[in-house]
Chains A and B, each alone.
Chain A
Amino acid sequence: MNTDDLIQTLSRDVPRVSHRVLARRLAIGMVGGGIITMILVTAILGIRPDLRVAMHGFSFWMKWTYTLSLGVGAIFAVSRLARPTPVSLRWLWLLAVPVLLLAGIGIGELVDTPSRDWLAMWLGGSWKVCPWLVLTLAMPIFVGLLWSFRRMAPTRLRAAGAAAGLAAGAWAATIYCLHCPEVSAIFVLTWYSLGIVLAAAVGALIGPKLMRW
C-alpha cells in the first residue's frame, strides 16, 4: 500500500480521545482484574470470620497500609511507563519507606517476644501458601493491566512488565488481607513481600513478550 492511501485509510477512523484516557484505562483494567481476585478470595478462600473485629486492630491496618502504599506507588510507575517518552523512575526508591517502616515494627515485635517464639511468629500458620496465593491472586489484575496497555505505548517493556506485576501483586495482597488472619509484621514483611516480588518477577519475565507492539 502506498503511504498516501495508508494515511487516507487511517484518517477515516479518528474517534475523540478523553483527556483522562490513561487513568480511565488503568482503572478499568485494575478494577476488572480486582473483581475476579475478590471473587476468588470470597468464594474459594473465604473472608476471615473475625474481619469486623480485626478491622479495629493494629495489625490489619498495618498490613493494609503496607500493601496499599506499595500498590499506589506501583500504579504510579505503571502510568509513567505506559507512555513512550523517557521518564525518570528514581523516585521508586520511595517504595523502600513502607518496607523499612514495616521492618521497624518487626524489630519492635521481636524485642517484645521471647526468642523461643520467634520462629512460630515468623512462619505463622500459612507461610507455605501465602506467597503462592498472592502470586496466583495477582494474575487476574495483571491480565487487567495488560488490557489497559493495549492502546498504550510502553518502550521499556521489561520495566513496564515488572511495574505491572508489582502493582498486581500489591493489590492482590491487599485483597488477600481480607482472608489472611496472620498478625505479625515479620510474617507480612517476608511472605507477603515474597509473593509481591514473585508477581513483579513474572511481570518482568513475560512483559517483553506480551507488551510488544
Chain B
Amino acid sequence: MQASEEQLKAWMLAGLDGDAAGHACLLRTLVPMLRGFYRRRLRGAEDDVEDLVQETLISVHTKRESYDRDRPFTAWLYAIARYRLIDHYRRRKVVVPIEDVEAILVAEGFEEATSARMDVDTLLSTLSPKQARAIRHTHIDGLSVSEAAARAGIGESDVKVSVHRGLKTLAARLRGEDRR
C-alpha cells in the first residue's frame, strides 16, 4: 500500500509546523516507498538499498527546509532520492550503463508530470498498448525489466525500447511540443 500524495504532503506540512508525530509518520511511510525506488535501480544489492534508504531519510529530515509548501511532495522526495543515488554511484565510482541513465533521466519528467496531478491513465491511453503496459509495469507497479518482459511475454530489450519511446512521446506531449 502506498500513501497518497495528499496524505504524505499533509504529514510533511504538519512536521514543518513542528508536529513530531506527523514527521515520524511521514518517515515511516517513506521507508517502503524508498526501498522500492532503490531496489528497482540497484537490482539486488540489498545492503546498499538499506543504506540509501537511511541516508535519504536523514536528508529528508535535515533538508526539510528546502521543501516548497506550494509544490507536490513526491516530486521533492524523488528529487532527493535521485540525488542520493547519484551520490552513491559517485562515491562507489560505479559506471552506470547508458540505457539506465536514460531511463533515470526520462523518468524524471514523467514523475514530475504525475506529481503535477495529471491523469496517468488518460496519458497512457494516448500511447500504443504495448508502450503503455511497459511503462505501467516498470514505472508504476515497480516491476523490474525482466519481470515486466515475462509478464507481457516479450523480450527485455523490447520492454526497454517501449518504455523509452513511450516516455519520450509523453515528455514531448507534456512539454507541449506535440499538440494533436
Contacts and interface: CB of A to CB of B under 8 A. Distances in A.
Given A15-B18, A85-B68, A7 B112 contact: no
A155 B57 contact: no
B63 A152 contact: yes
Contacts of A152: 63, 65-66
B82 to A, nearest CB: 8
Contact of B66 (A3, A8, A82): A82
A187 B69 CA distance: 44
Nearest to A83: B66
What secondary structure prevails in chain B residues at the interface with A?
Answer: helix
A12 B50 CA distance: 22
A12 B75 CA distance: 26
B20 A151 contact: no
B23 A153 contact: no
Interface in B97-140: 108, 112
A4 B28 CA distance: 8
Interface residues of B, number: 37
B15 A14 contact: yes
B24 A153 contact: no
B112 A86 contact: yes
In the complex, the 3 A-B pairs of residues with the closest C-beta atoms, listed nearest first? A84-B79, A16-B18, A11-B24
Contact of B24 (A1, A7, A21): A7
Interface size class of A (residues with CB under 8 A): 20 to 34
A22 to B, nearest CB: 7
B17 interface: yes
A116 interface: no
Interface in B45-72: 50, 53-54, 57-59, 61-69, 71
Contacts of B23: 10-11, 14
A84 B58 CA distance: 15
A17 interface: yes
B27 A83 contact: no
9 contacts: A3-B31, A3-B54, A7-B31, A11-B21, A14-B20, A17-B17, A84-B80, A85-B75, A85-B79
Nearest to B90: A212
A16 B58 contact: no
B69 A19 contact: yes
B37 interface: no
